[in-house]
Amino acid sequence: MTRLRAMLSTTAVRLSALYLGLFAVCAVALVFYVTAISEGMQRDRTQSAIANELRIVAGAYRGGGVAGLVRIIERRSRQPGANLYAIAAPTGELIAGNIASLQPGVLDTEGWSAVPFRYERIGETSDERHRALAQVVFLPNGMRLMVGRDIGEREQVRGLVRQALVMALAIMFVGALAIWFFVGRRALRRIDHMSEASKKILAGDLSQRLPVNGSGDEFDRLSLSLNIMLGRIERLNEGLRQVSDNIAHDLKTPLTRLRNRAEAALADGSPAAQHDALEQMIADGDQLIRTFNALLMISRVEAGSSTAQMSDVDLSGLAQDATELYEPVAEEEGVKLTAQIAPGITIRGNRELLAQALSNLIDNAVKYVGDVPNPEITVTLSQSAGQVRLAVVDNGPGVPANRRDDVVKRFVRLDESRSKPGTGLGLSLVQAVAALHGGQLLLDDASPQARDKPGLAAIMALPGGK
């Protein structure tokens, strides 16, 4: 009983009931409308036929008087499918015709009968009373003439129509109950499956997904949308867990080093040692501040807070300036830094963020190009098919294909020993800047044919350009 109440409370059942009620009302109204029109047409035909008959009878009366009138009525009343004829005395007594008895009062009023009346034909043995419509004419001598037609056929048609309507409504009602039961049970079954999956998700199993049966109905569309959202939430939670672990790992070391240096300086007590310790502690503090500043910048960029500073940026000039800025740094590391920049490329963007992203790419390339013969880094800028590609290409060890999705995550570094300086946030910022400008960060091998040192091509693919 509880399940039946739950099924009746579903939207599908309610809509089915609403549509059934609306259809039934329309069907009843249509049947009554058609019946009324049919009755009107039959009434008009009946009146026209009676009027024609009266004209024939009246002609006989004018030519032969009452005797001629009686003769034609007696003759016509014996024909197959004859109309109703009656001649009555001024007192109402039936004199001639094919009617044995009439409903009282029919002959009291001249003209067309307002409502059907009951009558009985001569020679009928059953007690069934028929119904008819007629027109009554008062003759000059006080006698009364009535000509009418039986409406039993019309009553039968009306009865058949009503019977058909009742049967149709009964069939629709039974069919609606069957549809309600089928649709309601199916909807409840799918809702139960979704509820079970939701309970598991609420219990912490974010790998669960809502069921999809492939029908493409509203449940499937809802499940697909929620599954996409659940996948996004799962990835965000996994990223948050990784970020938390990496923050704990990357920040614990400098904080521990700060404490140890402070403790060692206090234990030494000499001004020179304390001065050196303070300088090292300031350097470690600056590194922590840079880490948190990078985190804040990434969060702001991902939130889109810099869209208000969008303007036309000369990307060619920006890339040229960044290359010239890092040339001395690259020379100190023994790296050759060159540029292949197409002139006159301008995009709509944030100059500071684009400059920071390019600086991160060049800085990463300088740090990780590795000990290869003749290390080289090339900054390239090109435009084709409505897309601008700003790339930093090196001939170092590159990034394995199975780790490229990881290196753009926060605090993820291929250098597990953390021997290289950095925070592991550089590529995360580049990816956030590219997404802010409607583009993406692409990582690929610079020279796929060189298996040992394939190099890395870090590409910012940005839309537009003019």
Over the chain, what HEC string results?
CHHHHHHHCCHHHHHHHHHHHHHHHHHHHHHHHHHHHHHHHHHHHHHHHHHHHHHHHHHHHHHHHHHHHHHHHHHHHCCCCCCEEEEECCCCCEEEECEEEECCCHHHCCEECCCCEEEEECCCCCCCCEEEEEEEEECCCCCEEEEEEECHHHHHHHHHHHHHHHHHHHHHHHHHHHHHHHHHHHHHHHHHHHHHHHHHHHCCCCCCCCCCCCCCCHHHHHHHHHHHHHHHHHHHHHHHHHHHHHHHHHHHHHHHHHHHHHHHHHHHCCHHHHHHHHHHHHHHHHHHHHHHHHHHHHHHHHHCCCHHHCEEEEHHHHHHHHHHHHHHHHHHCCCEEEEEECCCCEEEECHHHHHHHHHHHHHHHHHHCCCCCCCEEEEEEEEECCEEEEEEEECCCCCCHHHHHHHCCCCCCCCCCCCCCCCCCHHHHHHHHHHHCCCEEEEECCCCCCCCCCCEEEEEEEECCC
The Cα 234–Cα 69 span in angstroms is: 102
The Cα 177–Cα 421 span in angstroms is: 73
What's the mean per-residue pLDDT of the chain?
80
Does pLDDT of 466 surpass 60? no
Predicted local distance difference test score (pLDDT) of residue 248: 65
Does pLDDT of 88 surpass 80? yes
Higher pLDDT, 113 or 215: 113
Residue 69: Cβ-neighbour burial (10 angstroms; 0-12, 13-18, 19+): buried
Residue 60's nearest CA partner among 183, 128, 127, 145 is 145
**pLDDT band, very low/low/confident/very high, at 239 (cuts 50, 70, 90):** low
Does pLDDT of 30 surpass 90? no
Count the neighbouring beta carbons within 10 Å of the beta carbon of residue 377: 27
Query: Are the C-beta atoms of 69 and 53 separated by less than 8 Å?
Result: no
**pLDDT band, very low/low/confident/very high, at 377 (cuts 50, 70, 90):** very high
Q: For the chain, what percent of residues have pLDDT higher than 70?
A: 82
What average pLDDT does this structure show over 227-233? 84
Sign of the alpha-carbon dihedral angle for 42, 45, 51, 52: negative
For the sheet with 456-463, list strands across it.
336-341, 376-384, 387-394, 456-463, 440-444
The Cα 99–Cα 73 span in angstroms is: 11
**pLDDT band, very low/low/confident/very high, at 300 (cuts 50, 70, 90):** low
What average pLDDT does this structure show over 90-114? 85
What average pLDDT does this structure show over 76-99? 85
Query: Are the C-beta atoms of 394 and 459 separated by less than 8 Å?
Result: no
Does pLDDT of 380 surpass 90? yes
Does pLDDT of 123 surpass 80? no
Sign of the alpha-carbon dihedral angle for 258, 264, 269, 275: negative
> Looking at 141-155, 207-221, 244-258, 409-423, which range is the least confident one?
409-423
Does pLDDT of 244 surpass 80? no
